[in-house]
Structure 1
Amino acid sequence: MLSQSERIKIAKRVAEELSEGQIVNLGVGIPTLIPDFLGDKKVFLQSENGLLGMGPTPDDENVNMDLISASKKPITMEKGASLFDSSDSFVMIRGGHIDVAVLGALQVDQYGEIANWAVPGKSILGVGGAIDLVAGAKRIIIACTLQAKDGKSKLVKKLTFPSSGTRRANILVTEHAVFKFTNTGTELIEILSDISMEKLKEITGVEFGCDNVKISSSKITK
């Protein structure tokens, strides 16, 4: 089970990937934590239920459940924020106006193809915006745990869950490491925890290149 501190670590690392002035859509789960870690960086957060200009999480005394994200979490609005119909929100998404989509995932293959909307044999409550965002966003960042609850790696050689589309993720940020995807496969670019390289290779479902790895933890042992 991922701790809150590990979830926050992932959200903070993803926030580093976002640039001033970008329009960014945040998916369900860990991505919803990102608004609290942008600092002074001016990023325009879009929620698919009809908001551009989402602010940080409100404190308990200022929660207004009429103002929620697509994840049904209470939110705030930045000065100058816009509210609109969800159909207009999907016009933004499908029209290619989202610079970055930060999404969770059930699986990601070695080239960055994503499965994040259905588990075989389980009920499907709704696709939501996952497939539209995979198709329409200019850049895709996956923020999730490296392993599923059953201990299996979410980073796999080949998807066994239904694909969210042929578009590929650019990077995957997990509690242990950051990976990027290329036409030749997966590349490890940064280690975020005190996991050993041997253990990381053991729990990751694909082989990965590791020629130029940044180590963000002084505790790392090779």
Structure 2
Amino acid sequence: MSYSVKHYIAWRCAQELSLGCVNLGIGIPTLVADYLPKGVVTLHSENGILGAGPEPGPDFVVDPENMDLVNASGVQPITALPHASYFDSSLSFCIMRGGHLDATVIGALQVSETGDIASWAVPGKDVLGVGGAMDLVVGAKRVIAAMTHLSPKGEPKILPECTYPLTAKNRVDTIVTEYAVFKFREGKLYLVEMVDELTFEQLKEMTPASYEIADDFKWVKRDSTPEEQLVLK
């Protein structure tokens, strides 16, 4: 591929979003802002921004001593739209916990076939803390897990059960990877989209979770850049 896998996942997640208030987590989700058409959603960042915009252009000069406008990572600069507002962490978390977010796009280490999500800790490794992940996945009306299909070690991440510490149970609505899109419907996991580079058998080898092929399943062809529209077979 001539484009980044992470950018492809972010682009595909952007296609899942409609009008409303959406939070983007750290990692792959921070890239989603770059692929949203203007006026589609209002982006919330847990560090206290409503109306966050995409990443600054290539001419933006980073001043390490004046990094006030950043996304949830705390280090990546962002833009602010004309209607943006700023507030403290207590109000930001009230928005997250109070059911005011229409969706959150969040990175995941593992997702189970029942919608459990593990996103904050790997056993045996140092952990900074869960941050706002638990508040986001419990408070948002819709949870989209954006992640690579396999771990850096080649281990499956969509599993019968999560083996890492849970962030929340039964909260994921949609899983987007570089190979496929899954959706939870009435408590069951369905494969709704898959790239035509794989067979069903190859995908199953990478996905030990139980799932069914949806009636509205689509094959898709990945184009040379994520900006180009997916071509459906």
Partner of 2:208: 205
SS at match of 1:101: strand
Per-residue deviation, residues 66-113 of structure 1 (Å, max 9, x unmatched): 210111211000011001111110011011111101000011000111
**Contact kept? 2:33, 2:54, Cα under 8 Å:** yes
Partners of 1:42 and 1:141 lie apart in 2 by: 17
| 1:80-91 matched pairs, under 5 angstroms | 80-91=83-94
Q: In 2, distance between residues paired with 1:99 and 1:211?
A: 24
- Within 5 Å, give how 1:102-141 maps onto structure 2: 102-141=105-144
- Measure the CA separation in 1 of the matches of 2:156 and 2:55: 31
Return closer, same or farther for 1:197/1:16 CA change in 2, 3 Å cut-off: same
Q: State the match for 1:92 in structure 2.
A: 95
**Residue aligned with 1:190, SS:** strand
Q: Equivalent residues in 2 for 1:39-188 (5 A)? A: 39-63=37-61, 65-71=67-73, 72-188=75-191
Q: Residue 22 of structure 2 aligns to a residue in which SS?
A: strand
Give ranges in structure 1 of 5+ residues lacking alignment.
none
1:63 shift after superposition: 4.4
Change (3 A) 1:3 1:135: farther
CA–CA distance in structure 2, aligned partners of residues 37 and 153 of structure 1 = 27
Instruction: Tell me the secondary structure at the aligned position of residue 159 of structure 1.
Output: coil
Greater shift in the superposed pair: 48-57 or 165-174: 165-174
Query: 5+ residue gaps in structure 2?
Result: 224-233
SS in 1 for 2:145: strand
User: Which residue does the alignment assign to 2:226?
Assistant: none
Specify which structure has the higher proportion of helix.
1
Partners of 1:200 and 1:166 in 2: CA distance: 24
How high is the TM-score relative to the length of structure 1?
0.91
- SS of the equivalent of 2:59 reads helix
**Post-superposition offset of 1:207:** 2.7
Are the counterparts in 1 of residues 114 and 170 from structure 2 also a CA contact under 8 Å? no
Q: Which moved more, 1:178-187 or 1:75-84?
A: 178-187
Secondary structure (helix, strand or coil) at the match of 2:76 reads coil
Alignment correspondent of 2:11: 12
Q: Secondary structure in 1 aligned to 2:55?
A: coil
C-alpha separation in 2, matches of 1:193 and 1:82: 43
Residues 129-156 of structure 1 deviation map (CA, whole Å, 9 limit, x = unaligned): 1011111111100000111111111000
Retained in 2: the 8 A contact 1:105–1:142?
Answer: yes
- Which residue identity is paired with 1:13? R
Aligned-partner Cα distance in 2 for 1:68–1:143: 20
Taking only aligned residues, the RMSD between alpha carbons, in angstroms, comes to: 2.0
Deviates more, 1:171-180 or 1:161-170: 161-170
The count of residues paired between Structure 1 and Structure 2 equals 218
Match of 1:196 in 2: 199
Compared with structure 1, are the counterparts of its residues 3 and 185 closer, same or farther at alpha carbon in structure 2 (3 Å cutoff)? Answer: farther
Seq. identity, %: 48
Contact 2:44 / 2:50 at 8 angstroms: preserved in 1?
Answer: yes
